[in-house]
Amino acid sequence: MKKILILIIMSFISHINAQSIVPWTEQNGTLGLGYPVPIPVDTPEAFDGFRTYDGLFSKHQSLAFTNDYITGHIVGQTRNNRDIWAYILSDEDNTTKYGIKEGAMLINGNIHAREWQTPEVMTGIMELLDANSADLSLHQYLLENTSIVVIPVNNVDGLLQTQRYPEQNVFTTSIGVRDGRMRRKNMLDVDENLSTFDDYLLGVDLNRNNNPYWASSNSSSFSPQSIVYHGPSSQSEPETQARITAAHLVDDDQIRIYTDVHSYSKVHFSVRTDNSARTTLMHNLLQDFSNHHVAFPANKYYQDSPSGPGSGIGSTDEYFALTYEVPSWTLEVEPGGGAGTEYGGFGNDGHDGFILPESHIKRVREQLSQTFMVAWYEQSGPPSITNLKIVENESTTGVKDTLIDDLSWDIQGDGSRVLYHNEVRSLIIGNTYRLIIGFDKPMRVRNEQGAIAHLQGQGGYDLDPNVTLSIGNDVINGVSGSWVNEKNESIISYNYYKDDTYVLEFTIPENITFDDNVSLSISIDVADMVGQKLDANPATVVTWANGQWQNYENDSGENSLLGGSDNSYLFTVKASDENDLPITVLATGLYFDPTRSGEGFSYELLSESKIWLQWFTYDNSGKQRWYSALGSYKANTIYIENLSQGSGGIFGNQFDSENISYSDFGSLEIIFTSPVDDGNGNLVYSAKALFKDVNGKKLRTEFKQITRVLGALPSIIIPPPSVTESKSALISGSWYNQNRSGEGYIIEVLVDNTAVVLWYTYDLDGNLMWLLDSGGTVTVDGDKINLDFDSLVVTEGGVFGAAFNADDVNRTPWGELHFSLSCSKKTGTLNYTSSINGFGSGEYSIVQLTHPLIDSSYNCDQ
């Protein structure tokens, strides 16, 4: 009886274990979904549905082709020799805008073939960053200050197999659904034909193939037919090796976060280790992630379900958690445990959770992508102050908006920062000032009405910084301010991204206890969009190591998990400004750094606020360079947002202005300081210039005026001009030939009635070239002014930037240049003869392009 029963049961099992190909269906049935079975569409463009691998791949490739921030890298081949790609989303350099090595964010998609949600989310991340790569806010910040490494499809062979059979899989009663649409593993020893049943259970679970816990638990198996087969050895699979190669696209010390994106169950399977700091920070990070995501209208909450430390299953997140000691987890994309029922489906077979309805993928793709930006913003690092400025609102000297303090944390060669402080003059009791505070990341977002708001799902911090200004024990009350989302050529302007800068107004009270050594101290307490407080000591740069931020000081100056407030700033305060002289941008002329003879600036003040500036310098190999820009000035400060560098010109007849193009070179800020008596009763003004290249690298120089242009404003004394002076002064400015836009001549007639010319052009090979003669003679004949320059020189040998040495500059005689210009018509001619082979001689008609502000007592009619 017993025996018979066993026989009957055994024959029943063999019967029901027979494999058959069973389709998923919309209608009710064994594999009835209750919603349409998604069929991938061969298109690169995102839509309300799933794309084929080819569609996704061509999208990735076209993004890499069209967006300079996206580059593709082949990081290995699959079992079936298909390329596995990783994409780096970042700018070209490896450093932030402030010279710090970028943190890297790693994300892996579609390691399990059937989890179609994941390559869509990976692609959504790339699409989101592409669409917002010039937003001057969160996304552009991430692209320019971090390196994001995306592997959209790790298991290419597997995904292709699932898409070959989008509705079908092999079904047995005891095992359930496998292969076809429900393939999980890679294609080791598997053919691509679903109806050959001898291999349909094979393949390696790539998420059990990893160090350090490979083959150490019951959650993986030595059986090649197991759904969790861990492979013949640790990291045996080429897909595993490709992921490790992708991680090596950045340096080990850059990696700050890893996510392996799976579906489904709407959970963070985070990896715990014995490092409690890492546990705390990862918990905060996942909380910020989930709080952001649940705040979308769909209200999807991702629960953290951490592992216990010290053991594992051979998954990829364990590898990254333990190799790099960074937040590392497996994200199981929705649905939650209810699988298809979460979308109104039948839920007949729990595997339907892998089949997200087409009507939901757009939302999942777009909103999870946005939530990843939050996690990466957090792991880009806690905020720190980069610069402060103080501007006078009014002063008794009569010049508004004088910049009196300029502070900045400059990165040094050894990786630390030093606080640069240009104190133009002291604060005065009773005066009102604006304090501008710059941060190294965008600190706030705005709502649709343009008002500062908490980042979605985040809170627990004040929207305004708490800035405490105190003099001794007296705290200055009534301080209020606003975030800055405007970029313009003025002091009240953000650094690189909207709302990375805050400005507030304060008045030094009249009633403070005053003694000679009184100073104003400033303490700043603020958190970034995800609630991370400031690095209290910016002198030591925050990095990530050993599972937490390093050099992230709190108020006591100790390394911490949560940071503190920055109290690094002191300013001198005086009782009165009665001896202060007004400080303004000096008049049109030539300027140079006495320690950098052989290069210099020329600028013209064109109006009350506009300036035309040229910088005559060198490249890194000693060749001449000139840069020009139209900028702004106010009080004692010149702002140039974009210096541009021309290219495409050539000397002589071959020149064609159609070939000239311009590229951005960087920004320039020039601050004039208080004049110093030279001992002979002459006031000597100097200025401090800060050049930042397009990547934010700084060069500081200090310069003095070399030439004073006749009649130029502002001027302290305008002597009544002679007839000759009256006319010749008006030809100072920029001149050019209208058919040769892209080269020109800067002419300055000086107070001693000599003239200077700077000819900015190209050499015979098309390199930038500039020629200088500072000893021109001026003769006036009626309306005609003749300038004769007999000894133009060309220079070479200087080096751009800190390595410049004036002794390296060689000056070679170039030839002669003569002008005959009409004062009233603003037109004229020039001719030149070069003593250098090839340049020959020539003649052009020219017109005046710009003329500097000249006192009105100078005119052509005398």
Q: Could you list the residues that contact Zn ion (CB under 5 A)?
A: 112, 262
C-alpha Rg value of the chain to the nearest Å: 34
CB nearer Zn ion, residue 99 or residue 158: 158
- Helix (H) or strand (E) segment spanning residue 164: helix 156-164
Q: How far is the CB of 205 from Zn ion (least distance, A)?
A: 9
Q: How far is the CB of 264 from Zn ion (least distance, A)?
A: 8
Q: How far is the CB of 313 from Zn ion (least distance, A)?
A: 12
689 token code pair: 């210039």
* C-beta of residue 786 within 8 angstroms of C-beta of residue 831: no
Residue type, 832: Y
CB nearer Zn ion, residue 112 or residue 272: 112
Q: How far is the CB of 279 from Zn ion (least distance, A)?
A: 24
Q: How far is the CB of 192 from Zn ion (least distance, A)?
A: 21
Q: How far is the CB of 207 from Zn ion (least distance, A)?
A: 6
DSSP for 21-73? EEE-BSSSSTTB-SSPPP--B--SS--SS-B-HHHHHHHHHHHHHH-TTEEEE
Q: How far is the CB of 265 from Zn ion (least distance, A)?
A: 9
CB nearer Zn ion, residue 339 or residue 484: 339
Report the alpha-carbon distance of residue 816 to residue 831 in Å, rounded. 8
Q: How far is the CB of 211 from Zn ion (least distance, A)?
A: 19
Q: For 168-252, where are the E strands, in sequence order?
A: 168-172, 176-178
Q: How far is the CB of 115 from Zn ion (least distance, A)?
A: 5
CB nearer Zn ion, residue 112 or residue 178: 112
771 token code pair: 């020629």
Tokens 């069209």 correspond to what residue?
Answer: 66
Region of 205 (left: φ > 0; alpha: ψ -120 to 50; beta: rest) is: beta
| Closest among 105, 109, 104 to 152, alpha carbons compared | 109
CB nearer Zn ion, residue 183 or residue 262: 262
CB nearer Zn ion, residue 262 or residue 389: 262
CB nearer Zn ion, residue 97 or residue 112: 112
Report the alpha-carbon distance of residue 417 to residue 384 in Å, rounded. 12
CB nearer Zn ion, residue 208 or residue 262: 262
Q: How far is the CB of 219 from Zn ion (least distance, A)?
A: 13
Which residues contact residue 404 at a Cβ distance below 8 angstroms, ignoring those fewer than 6 apart? 390, 391, 392, 423, 424, 425, 426, 427, 433
- Contacts of residues 767-770 at CB distance under 8 Å and 24 or more positions apart, as own/partner, are 767/623, 767/624, 768/623, 768/624, 768/625, 768/626, 768/645, 768/646, 768/647, 769/624, 769/651, 769/794, 770/616, 770/624, 770/626, 770/794
CB nearer Zn ion, residue 108 or residue 279: 108
CB nearer Zn ion, residue 183 or residue 293: 183
Q: How far is the CB of 262 from Zn ion (least distance, A)?
A: 3
| Closest among 536, 562, 577, 524 to 388, alpha carbons compared | 524
User: SS3 sequence, 533-578?
Assistant: EECCCCCCCCEEECCEEECCECCCCCECCCCECEEEEEEEEECCCC
Q: For 70-195, where are the E strands, in sequence order?
A: 70-77, 83-89, 103-109, 146-151, 168-172, 176-178
Q: What is the largest CA-CA distance in the chain?
A: 134
Q: How far is the CB of 403 from Zn ion (least distance, A)?
A: 57
CB nearer Zn ion, residue 263 or residue 560: 263
Report the alpha-carbon distance of residue 390 to residue 434 in Å, rounded. 6
CB nearer Zn ion, residue 208 or residue 625: 208
CB nearer Zn ion, residue 168 or residue 265: 265
Q: How far is the CB of 121 from Zn ion (least distance, A)?
A: 13
Report the alpha-carbon distance of residue 683 to residue 671 in Å, rounded. 17
